[in-house]
Structure 1
Amino acid sequence: MTEKLFYTDPKVFEWDAEVTGAAFHDGLWHVTLDKTAFYPEGGGQPCDLGTIAGKEVIHVMKKGEEVVHIVKEKPEGTRVHCQIDKIRRLVHTQHHSGQHLLAAVCLKMYGAKTLSIHLSMNSAAIELDVPALSDEQLENIEKEVNRLILEGRRLRIFYINRAEAGRYDLDEIPEGIERLRIVEIEGVEYNACGGTHVGSTSEIGPLKILKTERVRGHVRLHFICGIRLFEDYKEKLSLLADILEKLSAAQDTVLQKIEKIKKELKGKGAKNITPFSMNTRNF
């Protein structure tokens, strides 16, 4: 059985391990270690990536109690140095904890239960069992989530037997699992979850709802937080700077400049002009 450092010591990003197995399947090596910090894909959270003895890890999956690392080249030696992509892990961890908090607030404020989640490096999303949420409701949700983030509520992880589940207000209990891993957000919720999480809501960083869409008669919220939010903000500031430079406009007058250009083009008989669309929630 692989020792799972991503649970016992989640801030380990480099370590040494013993290779316990290496099998060749379909042109790739499936490597197992005596201990690993590589989180395997599961529960909506993507796997960690990185290197084992300098060889690129392209996927990680769970097989029973073992964690299997997929590499193109077989690592040399039985004692290997391992390293995971720290930023990738932190983004997924922030998104996962942010998802828990956002889902809990949606349920508490508007009775909107989460049906499914999606986490990635670019963004995250939750699908709710309601057909829509108004702009006012979205703003209220976002404000409450960020209030709880600023308060620095503690996240606690502990294990219970399935028979004890009734003592906690769990939204869903996974089938076929006798020992449940519980993630508690202090004063907010309990959730059975196998993913990686921050130690405090303050580590999630600011959270922003980007947009909503209707899927299967339900509303899906797309959001980002923490590291990814700052990256997105930087990208959009750069885009705005380019727009301002090309239009020779200031930030507070750029919309007027765009309207002026549109009128001038219309006056000259220009056809098929696609007007600029500025959505303040996305920008």
Structure 2
Amino acid sequence: MRTHSGLHVLCGVVFRDFGALVTGGNMEPGEARMDFNLPEVPPDFKLRLEELVNREVAEDRAIAVRVLPREEALALPDIIRTQSNLIPPEEQEIRIVDISGLDVQADGGTHVASTAQIGKVQLVKVESKGKANRRVRIRLVA
């Protein structure tokens, strides 16, 4: 739950500050990776991103879950944070995860109640995975 919530914070920060969508990811307890469509990477990206993510974790933002009718959910701005819409067309209700003031998106996973419960996030590595794809590896250290 902590790792999954940490990925949402990462995704929220990257979307807000760099305008990048998710192209893939993988998660294990305590560590994960997320790939972003991010052609240009600032020289201080890794350090800056780690600081921004941990600032959001420390904000102790509430994480709420709700289920909305499909039409209402898809009307929310930027509700799909992946490059491809992965919601099957037959789904009539969509589960929404809302990190107050940071990230609102369709999601089916488990989460902690607030960002402070995630603990410190370490950005282990930023890798290039093609012309416009960047892989960000994280580890929870607290």
Scaled to the shorter chain, the TM-score interval is 0.7 to 0.9
- 8 Å Cα contact 2:46-2:126 kept in structure 1: no
Question: What residue number does 1:171 align with?
Answer: 80
Residue 156 of structure 1 is aligned with which of 64, 67, 80?
A: 64
Question: What residue number does 1:95 align with?
Answer: 3
Deviations 1:24-61 (A, max 9, x none): xxxxxxxxxxxxxxxxxxxxxxxxxxxxxxxxxxxxxx
Residue 104 of structure 1 is aligned with which of 8, 12, 15?
A: 12
Name the structure where helix makes up a greater proportion of residues: 1
Alpha-carbon distance in structure 2 between the residues aligned to 1:219 and 1:100: 17
Alpha-carbon distance in structure 1 between the residues aligned to 2:80 and 2:6: 17
1:135–1:210 distance in 2 versus 1, CA, 3 Å: farther
- 8 Å Cα contact 2:3-2:30 kept in structure 1: no
Alpha-carbon distance in structure 2 between the residues aligned to 1:149 and 1:192: 20
Deviations 1:204-231 (A, max 9, x none): 1111100011213311000012xxx24x
SS at match of 2:2: helix
Question: What residue number does 1:209 align with?
Answer: 123
Question: What residue number does 1:187 align with?
Answer: 101
TM-score by length of 2: 0.87
- 8 Å Cα contact 1:117-1:126 kept in structure 2: yes
Question: What residue number does 1:222 align with?
Answer: 137
Consecutive unaligned residues of structure 1, counting only runs of 5 or more, are 1-92, 231-283
Question: What residue number does 2:41 align with?
Answer: 133
Shift of 1:164: 0.4
Alpha-carbon distance in structure 1 between the residues aligned to 2:30 and 2:63: 24
In the TM superposition, 1:107-126 aligns within 5 A as 107-121=15-29, 123-126=31-34
Alpha-carbon distance in structure 2 between the residues aligned to 1:171 and 1:159: 15
SS at match of 1:156: strand
Alpha-carbon distance in structure 1 between the residues aligned to 2:35 and 2:45: 16
Alpha-carbon distance in structure 1 between the residues aligned to 2:116 and 2:76: 24
Question: What residue number does 1:75 align with?
Answer: none
Shift of 1:143: 1.2
Matched residues, number: 135
* Alpha-carbon RMSD: 1.6
- 8 Å Cα contact 2:2-2:30 kept in structure 1: no
Consecutive unaligned residues of structure 2, counting only runs of 5 or more, are none
Alpha-carbon distance in structure 1 between the residues aligned to 2:30 and 2:118: 15
User: Looking at both structures, which has the greater relative contact order when contacts are Cα pairs under 8 Å and sequence separation is at least 6?
Assistant: 2
